Chains A and B, each alone.
Chain A
Amino acid sequence: MFETIEQRLEKLEKKVDVLEYSRKDQLTMVVMSDDLDKMLAAFIIAVGAAAMDTKVKMFFTFWAISALRKEHMKQAKGKDVTARMFGTMLPKGLGQLKLSKMNMQGIGKYMIKGIMKHNNVSSLDELLAVAGELGIDIDICTMSMDLMGFKKEEMIDYPNLGYAGVATFLADAGESSMQLFI
């Protein structure tokens, strides 16, 4: 039996509907790295997308989580030895991130910060503040947080900060038109 044109049209219309409504104008990003340069890229893309009215969801996992810790904060109580070690050795907050290349014990990092200022590039702290104003969601992977022994009270105050697992990321990524892994 051959399908009539009407039947084929109906099938196509259904397919188009699915395509049109399954992908939102949304960017979902996994941020895994705690390198200063990669974090900068992540935030510039996120803020740029939000400026274009794209909904942005950032998922912070593994090393990147340490960048969302409060800079001046004593470690939370009740941690074991490994968790204390992680807490001490990993960067506390965006300000302590290192360059992935040419860090040179921090000299490179200060040089790049100087150049950024000279070229009017926003600092990570400024970008984070703008991200908050633009309503960018940040979710922290709770599994990685537990691995590193980080506690919620050690995390920065950010307006749209949440805690989630991989299913949240997958569900959000599935309905996004853009997905990035940084």
Chain B
Amino acid sequence: MTTEELKSLKVNKSVDARGTSCPGPLLAAKKAMGEIKSGDILEVLSADEGTKKDIPKWATKKKHEYLGTVEESGYFKIYVKKG
């Protein structure tokens, strides 16, 4: 997905994990996934560079669909569709 497409996504839940470091964002994502339905889109905000790589790995394992990452100044917005 392009940055524009990601930015125009209708997000079902957003979780701000910018105040945590590894493995905080992953924990936050796992918790938030439990609160949404299959097909819903989750947005994870993280200031930890490693999360960019971690979330896609986690998504693959959990059969969610990683949609992409948008870089903001000092943090990342990561989009995952629940499988």
Q: Which A residues form the contact surface with B (CB < 8 A)?
A: 44, 47-48, 51-53, 119-122, 130
Q: Which B residues form the contact surface with A (CB < 8 A)?
A: 19-24, 26-27, 29-30, 58, 61-62
Which residues of chain A come closer than 8 Å to B58, judged between CB atoms?
A: 51-52
A119-B27 in contact (CB<8A): no
Q: How far is the CA of A29 from the CA of B22 in the complex (A)?
A: 19
B24-A120 in contact (CB<8A): yes
Which residues of chain A come closer than 8 Å to B61, judged between CB atoms?
A: 52-53
Partner of A51, one of B19, B21, B26: B26
B62-A53 in contact (CB<8A): yes
Which residues of chain A come closer than 8 Å to B30, judged between CB atoms?
A: 51-53
Which residues of chain B come closer than 8 Å to A121, judged between CB atoms?
A: 21-22
Return A28 CB to nearest CB of chain B, in Å: 18
Which residues of chain B come closer than 8 Å to A51, judged between CB atoms?
A: 23, 26-27, 29-30, 58
Q: List 13 A-B contacts (CB under 8 A).
A: A47-B23, A48-B26, A51-B26, A51-B30, A51-B58, A52-B26, A52-B58, A52-B62, A53-B62, A119-B21, A120-B20, A120-B21, A121-B22
Which residues of chain A come closer than 8 Å to B22, judged between CB atoms?
A: 44, 48, 121
Residue ID in chain A nearest B57 by CB atoms:
A52
